[in-house]
Amino acid sequence: MPSQNIGRNFESENLSTDQNRNDNTVCKQILESDPSIRVAAFIEGAEVTGYAETARTKNVLSQSIDLRKRIGFWSSIVTEMARQTDELFGRTESVLITHKGLKMVTIPLSARRSLGLSLDRSADTEKIILKVMTKFDLGSSD
Protein backbone atom coordinates (compact mmCIF):
# COMPACT_ATOMS: atom_id res chain seq x y z
CA MET A 1 0.00 0.00 0.00
CA PRO A 2 1.44 3.41 -0.93
CA SER A 3 2.36 5.50 2.07
CA GLN A 4 2.36 8.85 0.32
CA ASN A 5 -0.42 11.28 1.12
CA ILE A 6 -3.24 11.36 -1.42
CA GLY A 7 -5.59 14.33 -1.75
CA ARG A 8 -5.80 17.52 0.21
CA ASN A 9 -7.24 16.12 3.46
CA PHE A 10 -4.97 13.17 4.16
CA GLU A 11 -1.90 14.56 5.88
CA SER A 12 -0.52 12.39 8.66
CA GLU A 13 -1.65 13.27 12.15
CA ASN A 14 -0.93 11.76 15.57
CA LEU A 15 -4.18 10.97 17.33
CA SER A 16 -4.45 10.68 21.09
CA THR A 17 -4.96 7.33 22.78
CA ASP A 18 -7.93 8.85 24.65
CA GLN A 19 -9.62 9.70 21.34
CA ASN A 20 -9.05 6.13 20.09
CA ARG A 21 -10.52 4.71 23.31
CA ASN A 22 -13.56 6.97 22.98
CA ASP A 23 -13.98 6.01 19.30
CA ASN A 24 -13.87 2.31 20.22
CA THR A 25 -16.55 2.87 22.88
CA VAL A 26 -18.85 4.72 20.47
CA CYS A 27 -18.31 2.00 17.85
CA LYS A 28 -19.44 -0.64 20.37
CA GLN A 29 -22.52 1.45 21.19
CA ILE A 30 -23.30 1.82 17.47
CA LEU A 31 -23.16 -1.98 17.08
CA GLU A 32 -25.61 -2.37 19.96
CA SER A 33 -28.05 0.10 18.37
CA ASP A 34 -29.12 -2.19 15.51
CA PRO A 35 -28.68 -5.94 14.95
CA SER A 36 -28.01 -5.51 11.22
CA ILE A 37 -24.80 -3.52 11.89
CA ARG A 38 -21.85 -5.91 11.56
CA VAL A 39 -18.90 -3.52 11.94
CA ALA A 40 -18.48 0.14 12.93
CA ALA A 41 -15.26 2.10 12.43
CA PHE A 42 -14.15 5.71 12.68
CA ILE A 43 -11.63 6.83 10.08
CA GLU A 44 -9.50 9.95 10.56
CA GLY A 45 -7.70 10.86 7.35
CA ALA A 46 -6.82 7.36 6.21
CA GLU A 47 -6.34 5.83 9.68
CA VAL A 48 -8.87 3.65 11.51
CA THR A 49 -9.11 5.31 14.96
CA GLY A 50 -11.97 3.30 16.40
CA TYR A 51 -13.35 -0.13 15.63
CA ALA A 52 -15.88 -2.67 16.86
CA GLU A 53 -17.39 -5.76 15.27
CA THR A 54 -20.11 -8.23 16.16
CA ALA A 55 -19.25 -11.75 17.24
CA ARG A 56 -20.77 -13.10 14.00
CA THR A 57 -18.23 -11.33 11.76
CA LYS A 58 -15.00 -13.03 10.76
CA ASN A 59 -12.82 -10.82 13.00
CA VAL A 60 -10.87 -9.80 9.89
CA LEU A 61 -9.94 -6.19 10.70
CA SER A 62 -9.09 -6.74 14.34
CA GLN A 63 -6.58 -9.45 13.34
CA SER A 64 -4.91 -7.60 10.46
CA ILE A 65 -3.38 -4.16 10.96
CA ASP A 66 -2.46 -4.09 7.26
CA LEU A 67 -6.09 -4.68 6.26
CA ARG A 68 -7.23 -1.96 8.69
CA LYS A 69 -4.82 0.45 7.00
CA ARG A 70 -6.15 -0.53 3.57
CA ILE A 71 -9.77 -0.10 4.69
CA GLY A 72 -8.94 3.35 6.12
CA PHE A 73 -7.16 4.33 2.92
CA TRP A 74 -10.01 2.97 0.75
CA SER A 75 -12.62 4.83 2.81
CA SER A 76 -10.72 8.10 2.55
CA ILE A 77 -10.36 7.77 -1.23
CA VAL A 78 -14.03 6.81 -1.79
CA THR A 79 -15.21 9.70 0.37
CA GLU A 80 -12.92 12.18 -1.37
CA MET A 81 -14.10 10.98 -4.79
CA ALA A 82 -17.74 11.43 -3.77
CA ARG A 83 -16.99 14.93 -2.48
CA GLN A 84 -15.69 15.97 -5.89
CA THR A 85 -19.33 16.32 -7.00
CA ASP A 86 -20.53 18.22 -3.90
CA GLU A 87 -20.51 21.54 -5.76
CA LEU A 88 -22.85 20.11 -8.40
CA PHE A 89 -25.19 17.99 -6.27
CA GLY A 90 -24.82 19.19 -2.67
CA ARG A 91 -22.94 17.74 0.31
CA THR A 92 -22.17 14.01 0.24
CA GLU A 93 -24.26 12.41 2.98
CA SER A 94 -23.04 8.84 2.54
CA VAL A 95 -21.41 6.45 0.11
CA LEU A 96 -22.90 2.95 -0.23
CA ILE A 97 -21.26 -0.05 -1.85
CA THR A 98 -23.28 -3.26 -2.02
CA HIS A 99 -21.46 -6.58 -2.15
CA LYS A 100 -22.99 -10.03 -2.57
CA GLY A 101 -23.31 -10.63 1.17
CA LEU A 102 -23.13 -7.19 2.78
CA LYS A 103 -23.28 -3.42 2.40
CA MET A 104 -20.45 -1.01 3.18
CA VAL A 105 -21.41 2.56 4.05
CA THR A 106 -19.09 5.51 4.54
CA ILE A 107 -20.55 8.62 6.20
CA PRO A 108 -18.40 11.78 6.05
CA LEU A 109 -18.47 13.58 9.42
CA SER A 110 -15.95 16.34 8.65
CA ALA A 111 -13.24 17.10 6.11
CA ARG A 112 -10.97 14.42 7.65
CA ARG A 113 -13.28 12.16 9.64
CA SER A 114 -15.83 9.57 8.59
CA LEU A 115 -17.82 6.67 10.00
CA GLY A 116 -17.68 3.34 8.21
CA LEU A 117 -20.36 0.71 8.69
CA SER A 118 -20.65 -2.84 7.42
CA LEU A 119 -24.30 -3.90 7.31
CA ASP A 120 -26.24 -7.04 6.54
CA ARG A 121 -27.27 -6.98 2.89
CA SER A 122 -30.96 -6.90 3.91
CA ALA A 123 -30.47 -3.83 6.16
CA ASP A 124 -32.50 -0.66 5.61
CA THR A 125 -29.49 1.57 4.98
CA GLU A 126 -31.26 4.94 5.15
CA LYS A 127 -33.02 4.03 8.41
CA ILE A 128 -29.78 2.88 10.03
CA ILE A 129 -27.84 5.97 8.93
CA LEU A 130 -30.56 8.25 10.31
CA LYS A 131 -30.73 6.30 13.58
CA VAL A 132 -26.95 6.31 14.12
CA MET A 133 -26.47 9.95 13.13
CA THR A 134 -29.29 11.07 15.43
CA LYS A 135 -28.67 8.80 18.42
CA PHE A 136 -24.95 9.53 18.54
CA ASP A 137 -25.16 13.19 17.47
CA LEU A 138 -22.74 12.67 14.59
CA GLY A 139 -23.95 15.45 12.31
CA SER A 140 -21.43 16.82 9.84
CA SER A 141 -19.16 19.54 11.20
CA ASP A 142 -18.20 20.95 7.78
Average pLDDT of the residues in 117-134: 96
- Name the residue range of residue 84's domain: 17-135
Task: Provide the number of structural domains found in the chain.
Answer: 1
Domain of 67, CATH number, reads 3.30.450.30
pLDDT at residue 8, as a whole number: 30
Read off the pLDDT of residues 26-78 as tens digits, 9 standing for 90 and up: 999 999 999 999 999 999 988 999 989 998 887 666 667 777 788 888 888 88
**Residue pair 24/52 in contact by the 8 Å Cβ criterion:** yes
Read off the pLDDT of residues 67-111 as tens digits, 9 standing for 90 and up: 778 888 888 888 888 889 999 999 999 999 999 999 999 999 998
Residue 41: strand, helix, or coil: strand
Does residue 21 fall inside a structural domain?
yes
Does residue 51 fall inside a structural domain?
yes
Read off the pLDDT of residues 3-32 as tens digits, 9 standing for 90 and up: 333 333 323 333 344 566 799 999 999 999
Does residue 63 fall inside a structural domain?
yes
Does residue 12 fall inside a structural domain?
no
Does residue 11 fall inside a structural domain?
no
**3-state SS track over 14-29:** CCCHHHHHHHHHHHHH
**pTM score, whole prediction:** 0.79
Does residue 111 fall inside a structural domain?
yes
Among 137, 141, 135, residue whose Cα is nearest residue 109:
141
pLDDT at residue 50, as a whole number: 92
